[in-house]
Amino acid sequence: MGLLLAIDIGTTNLKVAAFTIEGACVGIEKKPTIAHYDVHGNSIYKPTEIWKDIASLLRIITSNVNQEILAISASSMSEAIVPLDCYGQECFDIITWFDTRAQKEAKEIVEVVGKEKLFEITGLDPNPIFPLCKILWMKRHHPDVFQQTCKWLQMTDYILYKLSGVMATDYSLASRTMAFDVCKNEWSDQLLELFEIDRKLFPEIVQSGSVMGTVTKEAADITGLSVGTSLVMGGNDHPCASLPAGVLNGNKILDSSGTAEAFIYVSPPQKPPLMKFMGQRTCRYLDKDRYALWGGIISSGASFEWAYKLLTNVETWGIYQGNPTYAEILSQVQNIPPGSNGVLFIPHLRGSGAPYWDPNMTGCFLGLKTTHTQQDLLRAVMEGLAFQARMIVNMHEQLAGSPADALCVVGGSGKNFLWQQIKADVLQKPIEICDETEATLLGAAILAGVGVGIFKDMTTASIELSKGNQKILPNSSNNEIYQPLYEIYCDAYKATEDLSHRLQKI
C-alpha cells in the first residue's frame, strides 16, 4: 500500500527510516552527526554537511524499498539554529543545541525582562542554549551575518525546507526558542521588540501532522524521492517519540531515557497547567492545543553506566578479564532487597536537573558501611534515579492539577526491566515500555501518516500503535520501604547542597 518515511536529526546520529502504515520498520539507515569545535569549545554543525548526509541516506532508503513513499516527515533536537539569507542560502554554520557561547546574552535578557516575566511569556528559564540568546550573540559578534539573515530555522525546519523550498516550523520547536509566547501560542512581539529583532526573521508556525509542502525537482534529483511527494510538518524529537509510547492514551508522562532522562507531561487539549516556575520548562506539544511540561535528570543513563563499569570490572587498573553480561549482573542485583540494605544514592554526577537545575551539585552515596556490596551499590543507583524521577513527576502533577496514570518509557533504559520495576515501585505507577526501539522515527512517521489521512489524528494513531507496549505494574508492598526512603532522599538534597558547592570551589 505504500510506506511512510521518517527523518531524525539527532545529537548522535542522523537517521532515515521507512515504516509500513501498521508501524513496522522495513528499512533504516544512519550516519554519525558530526559536530565541529573551535579552540574556545564553541560547537557547530555544518549545514551543507548535514544536508548532504541526509540526502544520501534518503537515496539509500529509496533505492532499497520498492514501494511508493506516501509521505515524509522529520524530527530533530531543538535549539540548534541555522540562518538563511534572502536567497535561501545558509549564511552561517548551525550553532548546536548544547552550545553555551551566549551566556552573556542570557544574563542580559534576565536584566532586561526579569526571570519571572521571562517565564510568564516563554515558559523557559534563561539558559544560553535557547535560540533567542544565540541570535543576540550573532547580532553582537557577527553583525554582517545578522543583517544578511532573512530566516532562522531549527533542524527539522531546515531539512524540510531543503526538500520543499518552504520555510516553516511547528509549535513544539517554536516554543523552545525563547522568542515564543507560550500562552498566546505565537511569536512574542513583546520580547522581539525589546531586543529589536524583526518578527519576520522567524518562520510561519504550522500544526505538526499537516502537509507543509511537496518534494521539489531539485531535491528529488539529489535524494531519489519522487517529485510532489507530500512533506508533513514534524516536530521536536522527544514529543515525536511520545506518540508510539502511547502518551496520548490517558493522562500519562513520557519518560525518554538515555544518557540523560527527560520527563514530559502532555496536557489535555485546551487545559493549561499552572504557569508557575517550579523547575520545569513549559512548552507546546505537537498538537498546538496541548502543553508539554519538561523536566529531566541530567545524568541518568550516565550514572548507571558509570556505576556499572566501576563496580563490575577492573580494567581501569590495567587488569583485563572477561566482563560479565548485563543479564548476569542484574540477576544478582535483583536479589538485593528494596532499600539496598540502607545505602542511598544521589544521582547528580553532572549537576542537578529538575526541579533545582544546579550545575554545581554533585552526587554521593549516603549510609555506606563495610557490609555493603557492589550489588547493594548498583541497586542504590537505580533507586536514586527512581527517587529523582518521582520528584520530577510530583512536580508535573502539581502543575497539571491531576495525577499521572502511568509513565511511558522510550530509550535504552527500557531494556533494563529491574530498573523499570524499581521505578514502578517507587512511583507506585505502571510503567509502559515502548516496543519500538526507534520511537522518535516512528513518531515522525505517524505525523506523516496523519498529514495524508492514513491516521485520523495523533491521538488515534498513538493509541493504535502503542497497543503492543509492555506494562510493568508496581508492587504495593515495596511502598512501605520506599516511602520513608523517598522522604530521606528529598531531605538529602538540601543536606548535601552546601557541601557540594564548597567542594566545587576547591
Note whether 235 and 189 are same-domain residues.
Answer: yes
Note whether 146 and 23 are same-domain residues.
Answer: yes
Residue 213 counted as domain residue: yes
Q: What is the pLDDT of residues 101-119, one digit of tens each?
A: 999 999 999 999 999 999 9
Note whether 325 and 423 are same-domain residues.
Answer: no
Residue 76 counted as domain residue: yes
Note whether 218 and 127 are same-domain residues.
Answer: yes
Number of independent structural domains in the chain: 3
Peptide bond into 359 cis (omega under 30): no
Note whether 344 and 372 are same-domain residues.
Answer: yes
**CA distances (Å), origin 426, targets 139, 329, 387, 423, 477:** 48, 22, 7, 5, 11
Q: What is the pLDDT of residues 352-405, one digit of tens each?
A: 999 998 988 999 999 999 999 999 999 999 999 999 999 999 999 999 999 999
Residue 382 counted as domain residue: yes
CA torsion, ordered 235, 240, 246, 249, to nearest 10 deg: 0
Note whether 234 and 110 are same-domain residues.
Answer: yes
Q: Which of 407, 389, 383 is nearest to 469 (CA)?
A: 407
Return the bridge partners of 85, or none: 149
Could you say which of 216, 239, 262 is where a domain stops?
239
- Mean of pLDDT values over 315-329: 81
Residue 471 counted as domain residue: yes
pLDDT score, position 322 = 77
Note whether 13 and 158 are same-domain residues.
Answer: yes
Note whether 306 and 423 are same-domain residues.
Answer: no
Note whether 77 and 153 are same-domain residues.
Answer: yes
Is residue 95 scored above 90 in pLDDT? yes
Cell 523552545 locates to 176
CATH number for the domain that contains residue 153: 3.30.420.40
Structural element, H or E, at residue 236: strand 230-236
- Distance between CA atoms of 290 and 239, rounded to whole angstroms? 11
Q: Where are the alpha helices (DSSP H) in 267-322?
A: 301-312
- Distance between CA atoms of 388 and 485, rounded to whole angstroms? 12
pLDDT band at 410 (very low <50, low <70, confident <90, very high): very high
Q: Provide the domain limits for residue 335.
A: 301-390+477-505
Structural element, H or E, at residue 490: helix 479-505
Cell 500544526 locates to 207
The sign of the dihedral angle between the CA atoms of 413, 415, 418, 424 is positive
Return the bridge partners of 95, or none: 44, 81
Cβ pair 363, 346 in contact under 8 A: yes
Q: What is the pLDDT of residues 281-293, one digit of tens each?
A: 999 999 999 999 9
Using DSSP, state whether 78 is helix, strand or coil. Answer: coil
Percent of the residues in the chain that have a pLDDT greater than 70, as a whole number? 100
Note whether 442 and 427 are same-domain residues.
Answer: yes
Is residue 1 scored above 80 in pLDDT? no
pLDDT score, position 124 = 96
Residue 399 counted as domain residue: no
Q: Where are the beta strands (DSSP E) in 305-398?
A: 344-346, 364-366
Note whether 229 and 291 are same-domain residues.
Answer: no
Could you say which of 223, 239, 255 is where a domain stops?
239
User: Between vectors from CA 393 to CA 392 and to CA 396, what angle results, nearest 5°?
Assistant: 90
Note whether 423 and 383 are same-domain residues.
Answer: no
For the chain, the residue count is 506
- Distance between CA atoms of 171 and 204, rounded to whole angstroms? 10
pLDDT score, position 321 = 76
Cα-to-chain-centroid distance, residue 343:
31
165: left (phi over 0), alpha (psi -120 to 50) or beta: left
Cell of 506: 576547591
Written as one string, the DSSP assignment of 96-115 is PTT--TTHHHHHHHHHHH-H
Q: Determine if the pTM surpasses 0.75.
A: yes
Q: What is the pLDDT of residues 16-65, one digit of tens each?
A: 999 999 999 999 999 999 999 999 889 999 999 999 999 999 999 999 99
Cell of 54: 541526509
Q: Which of 338, 340, 347 is nearest to 306 (CA)?
A: 347
pLDDT band at 325 (very low <50, low <70, confident <90, very high): confident
